[in-house]
Structures are given as structure tokens and as C-alpha cells.
């Protein structure tokens, strides 16, 4: 018999894809689904009563801008990840170029990780930024764990809007 850390009891699930919904328990060990069955037994596990609720997998948002560190007045990790969690998002990938400093160097990556570890309420990964002048930083960013690189093929400097004239 497996010893679960947590059992989510009696939630409505659809497994496998295309099958009819049915009630089942979900057994969790070390934060991962270890079993799905009609009635799991383990008197030592914590339990969540999900009877009458639909149990869905968490969503992943691969493109968000939390703007932290440095620009939390726009939206920081605390408020942004609360909104994600409320909407069922359990993981996000933060874009690199809206924070101050942008995630284009190893030092900036470490600052972003430190901010996320302190404030993020859901799992995260970080994109690295590819901008003019930081080609030498790519290997160190990759070694630091970025999931990929965001690059622009056009000038990203702000432009002044002018009314059209005839």
C-alpha cells in the first residue's frame, strides 16, 4: 500500500480524454500525482474533500510580464501570481524585458530569481533576453536556467505618436 502525502477525495474527473466524467480520488506523493482510483486508502494522508467539484489540471502561462524587480507599480510578482492562481494557473514563464533590470545578464537573472522565490505563489521559469550587446551573456543565462531567449527583430525604443496629417 502506498503512503500518500495528500488525497483529493471524490472529485469529478475526466480520464482518459474522451471518457465520461466520474468520481475518483487522487493520491499525491512529494507534490506529484501518484495514483488515481475510485477509493484510495491511507489513514496517514492529509485529505481535501472534492465531492461535488470538478478537478482540473493547472494551466501554464508561457508569456507574462510581472515587471519585477524594479517596476512593481505596473504589476509585481505578488499581485500577478495571485491573479494567476485565482484563474487556475499553476506555472508561468516570465518575459525578460519589462523588468528593471531586464533579464539579459546573469546578475539580472539572479535578481529576478530572488524576487520570484520570495513573492511568487505558483511555480515559475524565466525567459532570458537577447538584445544588442549581450551575446556574450547567453551561455551564462542558459547555465542559470532560462527556458529560452526572447529577441526582437525590430527597434523596441518607444516612439512618439503623432496625429496623421494630410
Name the CA dihedral angle for 157, 69, 85, 126, rounded to a multiple of 10 degrees: 70
- Indicate if the pLDDT at residue 1 is higher than 80: no
Residue 34: burial class (beta carbons within 10 Å; 0-12, 13-18, 19+): middle
Give the per-residue pLDDT at 117.
Answer: 95
Percent of residues, the chain, with pLDDT higher than 70 = 91
Does the predicted model carry a pTM greater than 0.75?
no
What is the pLDDT of the chain when averaged over all its residues? 88
pLDDT in tens, 47-56: 999 999 999 8
Instruction: For residues 31-35, give the mean pLDDT.
Output: 92
Peptide bond preceding 106 in cis form (omega within 30 of 0): no
Instruction: For residues 37-58, give the mean pLDDT.
Output: 92
- Indicate if the pLDDT at residue 166 is higher than 70: no
Among candidates 106, 134, 119, which has minimal Cα distance to 69? 119
pLDDT in tens, 89-121: 999 999 998 788 899 999 999 999 999 999 999
Amino acid at each position: 500500500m502506498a503512503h500518500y502525502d495528500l488525497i483529493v477525495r471524490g472529485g469529478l474527473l475526466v480520464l482518459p480524454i474522451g471518457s465520461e466524467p466520474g468520481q475518483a480520488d487522487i493520491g499525491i506523493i512529494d507534490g506529484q500525482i501518484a495514483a488515481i482510483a475510485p477509493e484510495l486508502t491511507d489513514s496517514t494522508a492529509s485529505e481535501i474533500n472534492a465531492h461535488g467539484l470538478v478537478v482540473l489540471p493547472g494551466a501554464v502561462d508561457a508569456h507574462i510580464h510581472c515587471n519585477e524587480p524594479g517596476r512593481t507599480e505596473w504589476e509585481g510578482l505578488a499581485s500577478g501570481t495571485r491573479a494567476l492562481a485565482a484563474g487556475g494557473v499553476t506555472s508561468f514563464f516570465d518575459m525578460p524585458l519589462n523588468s528593471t533590470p531586464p533579464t539579459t545578464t546573469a546578475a539580472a537573472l539572479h535578481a529576478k530569481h530572488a524576487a520570484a522565490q520570495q513573492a511568487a505563489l505558483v511555480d515559475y521559469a524565466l525567459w532570458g533576453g537577447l538584445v544588442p550587446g549581450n551575446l556574450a551573456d547567453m551561455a551564462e543565462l542558459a547555465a542559470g536556467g532560462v527556458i529560452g531567449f526572447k529577441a526582437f527583430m525590430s527597434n523596441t525604443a518607444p516612439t512618439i505618436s503623432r496625429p496623421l496629417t494630410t
